[in-house]
Amino acid sequence: MSARARIGVLALQGAFAAHASALQRLGATTVEVRVAADLEQCDALVLPGGESTTMSQLLETSQLFDPLAERIATGTPVFGTCAGMILLSKGIADGRPDQRSFAVLDIDVQRNGFGRQRDSFETEIDVLGLDRAFHAVFIRAPRISRIGSQIETLATHGGEPVLVRSKTIMAASFHPELADDDRVHQLFLTMVQG
């Protein structure tokens, strides 16, 4: 990974520090994104897990939503995990009326589709392009209820897509930053390198 490539990690809420650590172990430079000016330093972006309605509200109050939407719309590579997947999705089946998404990934999701906090689980999944199973951590994970024709499924659980990609966007229902395995982040960095 080029030392000049800088990955912005949205640092308003959620496990942003764990994402930054994984990316740094892979040789990336990271930037914690809290205000619009931080985006100017970034070649790519990570939207971490957390609570999607809270993240949506924080993006509004920090005045980050529109600048972030513009960066994503112009082709900046982005990786969303859990709540980040929800923020990227075109449709949120059970979102709050005031909840906004960037609507750039042609999928519909159901928040907490795999269950509430007590239903959280860990399991091994096969990921396209990886030589062995990946230990996936699902915490109040969104479930993909519709997938567009241009979406590539990279991993499934129980026959359902849980890691998807479309052009410059990748999204996971699970939390790869909580696994002791950086290979999913490496897949994203490969996209960034083009």
The mean predicted confidence, pLDDT, of the chain is 90
Residue ranges per structural domain of the chain: 6-193
In the predicted structure, residue 115 carries a pLDDT above the cut 80: no
pLDDT > 70 in the chain, percent: 91
Higher pLDDT, 190 or 112: 190
In the predicted structure, residue 116 carries a pLDDT above the cut 90: no
pLDDT (tens digit per residue) in 70-93 = 999 999 999 999 999 999 999 888
Higher pLDDT, 159 or 50: 159
Q: Are strands 29-33 and 121-125 parallel, antiparallel or unpaired?
A: unpaired
CA 125 – CA 44 distance, rounded (Å): 26
pLDDT at 13: 87
- Residues annotated catalytic, as ranges: 82, 175, 177
User: Selecting from 3.40.50.880, 3.40.50.300, 2.60.40.1480, 2.60.40.420, what CATH number does the domain 6-193 have?
Assistant: 3.40.50.880
CA 14 – CA 83 distance, rounded (Å): 9
Q: What is the mean pLDDT of residues 51-79?
A: 91
pTM metric for this prediction? 0.93
Look-up of token digits 């519909």? 108
